[in-house]
Amino acid sequence: MKEIQEILKERRIRVTKYRLAILGLLKEESDRFISIDEIRTRISGEYPKFDFSTAYRALELFEEKQLVYKTKMDDKICYTIQCEVDSDHHHLICKNCGKKIVLNFCPFEELEDQYEALGFDTFDHMRDFFGICQKCKKVDDKMNQ
């Protein structure tokens, strides 16, 4: 937790037990995206007064300070600790378990060149791709047999 306290202090974020718990959980689960509901459920076991608005405000602050990254999966907003990859990158995310794989290349580079050739000087795109990982697919296949 001391390391997490230092991270918050470096970003000039006031250290609270809830912020420590949220960032600690995201750091522990750094290989996947987690919904705000899962964050609340897991932390409220230790802190019963931990509510949605506290979680939401902390996560929005963390995003603003570039400690976390959020994405939308189906109808849920999900969060992950900010990747340590320096370059522009994309994520491949499992829609079931939230597992993330960092793609260190941009699959849109060729498309970006085509847009520029058509006279567009700005090209923007989302950096997340969604699917079902092999582990979840196997579970789903077993349930459907």
Structure confidence by residue, pLDDT tens digits, 5-26: 999 999 999 999 999 999 999 9
Rounded distance, CA 118 to CA 115, Å?
A: 5
Q: Supply angle C-alpha 23, 31, 2, rounded to 5.
A: 30
Q: Supply angle C-alpha 71, 75, 56, rounded to 5.
A: 60
Measured from the Cβ of residue 61, the count of other Cβ atoms closer than 10 Å reads 17
Q: Which two tokens stand for residue 78?
A: 């999900």
pLDDT at 127: 73
Instruction: Check if the beta carbon of residue 89 is closer than 8 Å to that of residue 104.
Output: yes
31-44 pLDDT per residue, tens: 999 999 999 999 99
Structural domains of the chain, ranges and CATH numbers in brackets = 1-82 (1.10.10.10), 85-145 (3.30.1490.190)
pLDDT at 23: 95
Q: Give the chain's residues under pLDDT 70.
A: 1-2, 85-88, 122-126
Rounded distance, CA 92 to CA 104, Å?
A: 11
62 to each of 26, 39, 71, 135, how far by Cα in Å? 11, 14, 14, 30
pLDDT at 61: 96
